[in-house]
């Protein structure tokens, strides 16, 4: 009975002061992480693609932004937006939105790096093949490169989501009532339930992160297998890419056997 | 502000060293042949990776003294620099789980023949780890380890939540005392960017120093 008593206010951890006030607790962590990753997703793609651009006036601002954000702690970004967004907008915004905006700024830089890695992992032949069929550069990106890149990026997106979810706990410092804050509130109001508060905080974070990281691992396995089955780089190269060239060389080969491919290698 | 910067650097160096040590121990536990050790190592990593570092810092500051026998807890709470110790402990346990995961990945990159060669020259278990396996593990895992250490350096700013007087906390103090928040935050941000840049370039230099020239090895093999 004592144990049940200790954990009796788990509604508060889960939803915060929800029925009487704003939503909070673990739910708020999840909402913030999803909002941040959703809003910054498009920015991440644009930044990551622009970073690979060959035009310096597009490339260098993007590199500067990504490296600037990546070498600043999230707390600093949160403070910048918490204290100085009111100066810029001229009016106060709620702490929830200032937290979400700073998480977005943070997430966009990391997602840009994931997107860049994903695009670079697509074999170069894919782009060349797409361009040679007469696609525009945009069309090739949109229909050939990005779909393949997304498939490779998916596991790292999920594991980035886990790390972003953990980072939402930092917003407790500017007073967002999320899981860490609810735990602190309870452990200060009812000191006898301190251990229960910390254990509930840990369980809340652990369950979500563990599920997501397992999901990432499973995705990684499935996509890895799927890729091997579908692309098979060796098979592609032998059956489709080299065939026309061999035929073309074959015409001359009969006259001059010394330029047979086996001699060249 | 300058004392804050000093403390940030102290925190960074100590947590880097301690988390490397703890991470190495756990990595060895996770690759050992004894099932109990392996399970313990996996449990450690699963627990500490899936709970944010901020939680561990708060836990060591508020909860840890309560769990100890009462006179020890009171002694810890009476220390002036207990926030710093709690911060170091929290960051270490959080970072060590990542380090052990990275090092385990580095172990998988070592060819099996290295271990066999070490056994056949008659080295003991400990000697094998010290002289053959660990150096190669670190070398293989250096790039992700470097990224992790920069991350750890950025995480030291979390210690402001438990009033450890490092640079982010100093920024807040300046903001609340003199309302010169913009200047203070700018300086602190520049400090972080500069130090992260120094760390990254150090890691790149270290990588170049430790790189083995693979082409030379294969050439000598071909010559034989």
d(CA A48, CA A43): 8
* CB pairs A-B closer than 8 Å: 95
Per-residue pLDDT of A16-36, as tens digits, reads 666 666 777 788 888 889 999
Q: Could you tell me which chain A residue has the CA closest to the CA of B150?
A: A71
**Residue B23: burial class (beta carbons within 10 Å; 0-12, 13-18, 19+):** buried
Q: What residues in B contact A76, CB-CB < 8 Å?
A: 157, 168, 185, 188-189, 192
Segment A164-186 mean pLDDT: 86
A171 touches chain B (CB under 8 A): no
**What is the DSSP code string of A226-243?**
HHHHHT-HHHHIIIIIHH
CB contact under 8 A, B158 and A75: yes
CA distance B119 to chain A (A): 34
Q: pLDDT confidence of A39, banded at 50, 70, 90?
A: very high
Give the helix ranges, DSSP H, for chain A: 2-6, 10-15, 25-51, 56-70, 74-89, 95-121, 124-132, 137-140, 146-167, 179-189, 194-230, 233-236, 242-253, 261-264
- Give bridge partners of residue A178 from the DSSP assignment: A25
Q: Find, in chain A, the residue whose alpha carbon is nearest to that of B182.
A: A84
Residues of B within 8 A of A195 (CB-CB) are 63, 66-67
Judged against a pLDDT cut of 80, whether residue A229 lies above it is answered with no
- Output the pLDDT for position A105: 92
Residues in B touching A196 (Cβ below 8 Å): none
Mean pLDDT computed over every residue of chain B: 83
Would you call A80 and B189 a contact, using CB atoms and an 8 Å cutoff? yes
Query: Domains of chain B, with CATH numbers?
Result: 2-223 (1.10.3720.10)
pLDDT over threshold 80, residue B168: yes
Read off the pLDDT of residues B142-161 as tens digits, 9 standing for 90 and up: 888 888 888 888 888 888 88
pLDDT bin (cut points 50, 70, 90) of residue A108 is very high
Question: What pLDDT digit, counting tens, does each position of B14-24 carry?
Answer: 888 998 899 88
Give whichever of A99-103, A181-185, A234-238 has the largest mean pLDDT.
A99-103
A25 DSSP β-pair partners: A178
Q: Is the pLDDT of residue A239 over 80?
A: no
Please indicate if any CB of chain B lies within 8 Å of the CB of A68.
Answer: yes
Inspect the interface and report whether the beta carbons of B193 and A71 lie closer than 8 Å. yes
Q: What percent of chain A has pLDDT over 90?
A: 8
A64 part of contact set with chain B, CB < 8 Å: no
A65-69, B48-52, B172-176, B180-184: least confident range:
B180-184
What whole-number percentage of chain B has pLDDT above 90? 3
CA-based nearest distance A73→chain B, Å: 5
Shortest alpha-carbon distance between residue B73 and chain A (Å): 15
Q: Identify the residue with better confidence: A115 or B126.
A: A115
Q: B19: buried, middle or exposed (CB in 10 Å: 19+, 13-18, 0-12)? A: buried
Q: What is the CATH number of domain A17-250?
A: 1.10.3720.10
CA distance B106 to chain A (A): 19
Q: What are the DSSP calls for B89-112, one per residue?
A: HHHHHHHHHHHHHHHHHHHHTS-H
- Residue B59 and residue A198: Cβ atoms within 8 Å? yes
* A75 has a chain B CB within 8 A of its CB: yes
The span from the CA of B87 to the CA of B14, in Å, is: 11
Task: Report the pLDDT value the prediction gives residue A6, as an integer from 0 to 100.
Answer: 63
Q: What is the ipTM of this complex?
A: 0.80
Are A187 and B54 within 8 A, CB to CB?
A: no
Say yes or no to pLDDT of A96 above 60: yes
Contacts of B64-73 with CB under 8 Å at 24 or more apart are B64/B89, B66/A194, B66/A195, B67/A195
| Residue A224 confidence class, pLDDT cut points 50, 70, 90 | low
Query: Can you tell me the distance from the alpha carbon of B111 to that of B140, in angstroms, rounded to the nearest whole number?
Result: 11
Other beta carbons within 10 angstroms of residue A36's beta carbon come to 25
Q: Are B66 and A195 an interchain contact pair (Cβ–Cβ within 8 Å)?
A: yes
- Closest approach of B183 to chain A, Cα-based (Å): 11
**How far is the alpha carbon of A87 from chain B, nearest alpha carbon, in Å?**
11
Summarised one tens digit per residue, pLDDT across range B104-121 is 888 877 877 887 888 888
Record: contact B192-A201, CB cut-off 8 A: no
* Average pLDDT of the segment spanning A97-123: 89
- CA A186/CA A196 separation, integer angstroms: 9
């Amino acid at each position: 009975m004592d144990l049940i008593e200790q954990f009796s206010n788990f509604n508060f951890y889960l939803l915060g002061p929800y029925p009487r006030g704003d939503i909070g607790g673990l739910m708020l962590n999840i909402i913030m992480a999803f909002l941040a990753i959703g809003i910054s997703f498009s920015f991440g793609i644009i930044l990551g693609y622009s970073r690979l651009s060959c035009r310096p006036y597009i490339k260098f601002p993007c590199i500067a932004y990504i490296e600037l954000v990546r070498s600043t702690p999230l707390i600093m970004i949160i403070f910048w937006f918490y204290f100085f967004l009111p100066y810029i907008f001229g009016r106060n915004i709620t702490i929830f939105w200032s937290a979400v905006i700073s998480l977005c700024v943070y997430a966009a830089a990391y997602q840009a790096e994931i997107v860049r890695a994903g695009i670079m992992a697509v074999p170069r032949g894919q782009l060349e093949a797409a361009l040679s069929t007469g696609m525009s550069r945009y069309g090739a990106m949109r229909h050939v490169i990005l779909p393949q890149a997304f498939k490779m990026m998916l596991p790292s997106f999920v594991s980035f989501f886990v790390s972003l979810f953990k980072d939402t706990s930092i917003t407790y410092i500017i007073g967002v009532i999320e899981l860490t804050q609810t735990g602190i509130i309870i452990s200060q109001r009812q000191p006898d339930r301190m251990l229960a508060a910390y254990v509930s905080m840990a369980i809340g974070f652990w369950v979500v992160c563990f599920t997501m990281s397992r999901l990432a691992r499973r995705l990684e396995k499935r996509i890895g297998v799927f890729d091997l089955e579908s692309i098979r780089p060796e098979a592609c190269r032998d059956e489709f890419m080299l065939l026309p060239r061999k035929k073309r060389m074959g015409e001359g080969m009969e006259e001059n056997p010394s330029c047979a491919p086996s001699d060249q290698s | 502000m300058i004392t804050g910067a000093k403390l940030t650097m102290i925190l960074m160096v100590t947590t880097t060293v301690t988390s490397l040590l703890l991470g190495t121990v756990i990595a060895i536990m996770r690759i050992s042949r004894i099932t109990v050790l392996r399970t313990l190592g996996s449990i450690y990593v699963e627990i500490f990776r899936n709970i944010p570092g901020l939680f561990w810092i708060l836990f060591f500051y508020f909860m840890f003294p309560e769990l100890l026998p009462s006179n020890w807890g009171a002694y810890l709470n009476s220390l002036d620099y207990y926030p710093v110790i709690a911060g170091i402990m929290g960051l270490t346990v959080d970072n060590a789980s990542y380090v052990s995961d990275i090092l385990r990945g580095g172990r998988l990159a070592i060819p099996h023949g290295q271990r066999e060669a070490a056994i056949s020259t008659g080295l003991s278990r400990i000697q094998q780890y010290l002289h053959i396996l660990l150096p190669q593990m670190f070398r293989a895992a250096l790039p992700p380890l470097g990224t992790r250490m920069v991350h750890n350096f950025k995480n030291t700013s979390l210690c402001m939540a438990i009033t450890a007087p490092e640079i982010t906390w100093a920024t807040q103090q300046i903001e609340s005392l003199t309302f010169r928040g913009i200047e203070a935050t700018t300086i602190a941000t520049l400090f972080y960017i500069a130090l992260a840049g120094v760390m990254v370039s150090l890691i790149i230099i270290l990588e170049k120093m430790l790189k083995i020239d693979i082409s030379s090895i294969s050439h000598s093999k071909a010559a034989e």
